[in-house]
Homo-oligomer: A and B are copies of this chain.
């Protein structure tokens, strides 16, 4: 096989995570160090940057500063949620991308994101193949939601899980401090899959975890929930519940929508939007008269780089690096994911594995039902065994003035 010489471009897309930049940095650094790759460009705000001819020249960044990407949360290159049209319907974007590829002599295309990003990568890959332009397209996974098919787990999930479990342990202690009663309802992200919420169960390993966990894989019944909480509260004077934002009843209505149905306005005439935890906290307060606290982890859980898993950071970096190495070696049209094995001592081993983009782009992986308990309000040991190895290791994030030292990119605009 002959070496394909040319430039590489990398973009980030979708919701950020604590470690998506570790993946991007793995790809960028490897590409910068690689003989076959002549130049390395970053897309400003994902595929939009490519369409708008808004690329930055990664070689113009100071290498030491660039290395801080590995520990910086969010998408350092900027992200987008732009969805490419089906090329059978509208080829405009693809023709423009081809034009840009030719303008910058781009022969390597790396796209770092979740389901939609793998779909983008897949469509571009297939279009270029069909149109006879040789470019190697590789997907680099990212999603705290952990819902990508094929791969054992997704870069970003473990760091969010570690933050969630840590915060749950801390809130557990806080919520038990008074001799008076307290019910706590904490909400994690996860519209369709319960992976992040299940991570709260990791706190039970240390004996500081929730009493009840509700995930979207199981229909939520408000009456049954209320009865459970009342029962636990009556016995312990405390009850700690963790819920997914995406829990819904058997008709498919999100519990968060209950709060807004028929809802009136505040004194300024604005509808009061609340999350799932806020609704359930209010509801349980009315039902029990207890002190109830609703807590929403919100964006914090997807950007808490200070509490990232070093295992996750290292694996994310490795996936970006492998994407470049495989592409240079002649591979295209794949996503670099993970396969798990265990060594002779039973220790977790993470192996890199390539998955077809087509499969990844069109499937959503949910929490296996056998990892949810029979009553649908707790998480089994199977999940703990799965997730615990992933959250090991403390981030090596540099601190300056007692605060994280995140990357500052110069973002020098690329010239053809």
Copies in the complex: 2
Residue of B nearest to A274 (CB): B272
Taking a contact as CB atoms under 8 Å apart, the answer to whether B279 and A266 are in contact is: yes
A262–B258 CB distance below 8 A: no
Q: With A45-B179, A267-B261 known to touch, is A300 a contact of B170 (CB < 8 Å)?
A: yes
Segment 271-309 of A: residues with Cβ below 8 Å from B: 271-274, 278-279, 282-283, 285-286, 293, 295-300, 302-307, 309
Q: By the criterion CB–CB under 8 Å, are B266 and A206 in contact?
A: no
From B203, B278, B293, B303, A171 is in contact (CB under 8 Å) with B303
CA distance A270 to B304 in the complex (A): 34
Quick one: which of A169, A258, A285, A394 has the most chain B CB within 10 A? A169
> CA of A266 to CA of B273 in the docked complex: distance in angstroms?
11
Q: Smallest Cβ distance from A199 to chain B, in angstroms? A: 11
Q: What's the nearest-Cβ distance from chain B to residue A281, in Å?
A: 8
A162 touches B (CB below 8 Å): yes
Does chain B have a CB within 8 A of A48? yes
Q: Pick the most buried of A171, A286, A302, A305: most chain B CB atoms within 10 A of its CB.
A: A171
Asked if A178 CB lies within 8 Å of chain B CBs, one says: yes
Q: Does A268 contact B (CB under 8 A)?
A: yes
Contacts of A165 in B (CB 8 A): 403
A88 CB, min distance to chain B CBs, angstroms:
27
Whether A392 sits at the interface, judged by CB under 8 Å, is yes
Q: A177-B16, A279-B266 are in contact. Are A306 and B307 (CB under 8 A)?
A: yes
Q: Does A227 contact B (CB under 8 A)?
A: no
Q: Is A353 an interface residue (CB 8 A)?
A: no
A159-182 interface (Cβ within 8 A of B) = 162, 165-167, 169-171, 173-179
A112 is an interface residue with CB less than 8 A from chain B: no
Contact status B173-A74, CB under 8 Å: yes
Given contacts A298-B295, A300-B170, A306-B166, contact A177 B272 (CB under 8 A): no
Contact indicator A170/B73 (Cβ below 8 Å): yes
A176 → B minimal CB distance (Å): 7
Residues of B within 8 A of A174 (CB): 16, 73-74, 299, 302-303
Which residue from B167, B259, B267, B393 sits with its C-beta under 8 Å from A258?
B267
**Taking the complex as formed, is A143 at the interface, i.e. its CB lies under 8 A from any CB of chain B?**
no
Closest chain B residue to A260, Cβ basis? B266
Which chain A residues in 304-340 approach chain B with CB under 8 Å?
A: 304-307, 309
The answer to whether A399 has its CB under 8 Å from any CB of chain B is: yes
Least CB distance from A133 to B in Å reads 27
If A298-B295, A299-B295, A300-B167 touch, whether A178 touches B268 (CB-CB below 8 Å) is: no
| Interchain CB contact under 8 A, B267 and A273 | no
* Chain B residues, Cβ within 8 Å of A45: 178-179
Given contacts A206-B400, A272-B282, contact A304 B264 (CB under 8 A): no
- Report the separation of the CA atoms of residues A259 and B44 in the bound assembly, to the nearest whole angstrom: 39
CB distance A74 to B176 under 8 Å?
yes
Most buried by B among A170, A206, A283: A170
Closest 9 CB pairs of A and B: A264-B264, A74-B173, A174-B303, A170-B303, A391-B402, A45-B179, A262-B267, A392-B402, A261-B267
Given contacts A80-B178, A263-B264, A264-B265, 16 further A-B contacts (CB under 8 A): A166-B306, A167-B300, A169-B406, A174-B302, A259-B272, A263-B266, A268-B286, A269-B286, A270-B286, A272-B274, A273-B282, A274-B274, A274-B278, A297-B300, A306-B307, A309-B402
Could you name 30 residue pairs across A and B whose Cβ atoms are closer than 8 Å? A44-B179, A73-B170, A74-B174, A79-B177, A80-B179, A81-B178, A170-B300, A171-B299, A171-B300, A174-B303, A206-B400, A206-B405, A259-B266, A261-B266, A261-B267, A262-B267, A263-B272, A264-B264, A266-B282, A270-B282, A270-B286, A273-B278, A274-B274, A274-B278, A278-B278, A293-B298, A295-B300, A297-B300, A392-B401, A393-B402
